[in-house]
Amino acid sequence: MSRIGTSLLTAVALLAATPALAGEGRAWASGTFNPAKTETAENRTFTEFAEQGTLEVEYAFDGGPGGEIGVEYRLRSGLGLQLAASFGTRDGAASYTAAFPHPLYLNRDRAASGETSGLSLTETAIHFDLVYGKRGPKWEIVGFAGASFFNVEADILDRPQYTHAYPYDTVSVLAPVTLSRSGSKVGFNAGLAVDYRLSKSFGLGVQGRFSGATVELEATDEGTVELDAGGFAVGAGLRLYF
């Protein structure tokens, strides 16, 4: 089972076990939106025709929707612990510049460039935080910070395939091909949540969470793509108190 699968199962188990603990707590489910654009670039090298070629790619993933669920267990004096799981998706595009070695001559690369869209990025994360809250009869404000475990699955560009014919001075690049790659990394998060109680057990809330980690995705050639996971996500949703 993958690391993210194991982590999610652990989160589920913790969530399920939480009500068995003594004391108060709350759980939530929110829809979120991460407005920040994620941009990254990579430089890859590869060997072709006994010479080194290069591929430079710039990726841009737009902000996108997501969701989060979590549970908080209150300890004392406003302090508590919380565990949350979040996910988010983004659509993206990439532009590339490649230098393909010439098959017949040294140091006479054939240049190619292009763009492709329709890339996707999916990010899941488990957040484990220390919480400090101020609670009133109706309103509740909670600040939190802690560690995050990210798993990112994203489309990255494979080395463009091309056709060429004698005298091989130019290449005709075929449709860019994408590869789905995933990677994980531990990072951090911090944020603020404000709840409004509708009843003893239910309420509504908004939250903002800033999280971050740099995840490395392995490319097919000698190179990696470094993606900034997380960002600032805002959300709103239901609250359940116990």
Partner 1 sequence: MKWYGTVLALALAAGGAQAADPTGTRRVAAGDGAALSDWDFRAGRLEAAGDLRLRLVREDELLPGRVHERLAQFYRGIPVWGGELVRQRSATATLSVFGTFYEGIELDVTPTLTAADAARSVAARGLTLPLDKQPELVVLPREAGYALAWRLRANTDPDAGFDARMIFLDARDGAVLLEYSDLKHQSAVGTGTGVLADSKKMSVLSGGGGFLTDDQLRPPRLRTFDMKGNLTRTLQFLNGQVALGQSDLAVDPDNVWSDGAVVDAHAYAGYTYDYLYKRFGRRGLDDQNGRILSLVHPVNRADIFGYSDSVVSTFYLNAFYYGDGIMVYGEGLPSNLTAGGQRFNYWSGALDVVSHELGHGVTDFTSALIYYGESGALNESFSDILAAGTEFFHQEAGSGPLKADWLLAEDTVTPGGIRSMQNPAAFGDPDHYSIRFTGAEDNNGVHINSSISNHAFYLAIEGGRNRVSGLSVTGVGSANRDLIERVFFRAYTALLAPSSDFSAARAATLQSARDLYGANSNAERAVREAWNAVGVQ
32 binds partner 1 (CB under 8 A): no
Other Cβ atoms within 10 Å of 216 Cβ, number:
14
Binding span for partner 1 by CB under 8 A among 54-62, 66-74, 130-138, 196-204? 66-74
Which one among 55, 69, 98, 131 touches partner 1, defined by CB under 8 A?
Answer: 69
List binders of partner 1 among 180-199 (CB under 8 A): 180
| Rounded CA separation 106/84 (Å) | 55
> Which CB, 102 or 110, lies closer to partner 1?
102
71 binds partner 1 (CB under 8 A): yes
Residues whose CB is less than 8 angstroms from the CB of residue 59 and which lie 6 or more positions away in sequence, other chains included: 38, 39, 40, 41, 42, 92, 93, 94, 119, 154, 156, 225, 227
201 binds partner 1 (CB under 8 A): no
- Please tell me whether the peptide bond between 167 and the residue prior to it is cis, using omega within 30 degrees of 0: yes
Half-sphere exposure of residue 195: CA atoms within 13 angstroms, side-chain side: 28
List binders of partner 1 among 98-157 (CB under 8 A): 102-106, 114, 116-122, 124, 153, 155
Which one among 66, 146, 191, 235 touches partner 1, defined by CB under 8 A?
Answer: 66
Q: Minimum distance between the CB of residue 102 and partner 1, rounded to whole angstroms? A: 8
Q: Tokens in use for 85? A: 């799981």
User: What does DSSP say about strands 51-61 and 202-218: parallel, antiparallel, or unpaired?
Assistant: unpaired
Q: Minimum distance between the CB of residue 35 and partner 1, rounded to whole angstroms? A: 18
Binding span for partner 1 by CB under 8 A among 38-46, 62-70, 141-149, 207-215? 62-70
Q: Minimum distance between the CB of residue 38 and partner 1, rounded to whole angstroms? A: 15
Question: What three-state secondary structure class fits 132?
Answer: strand
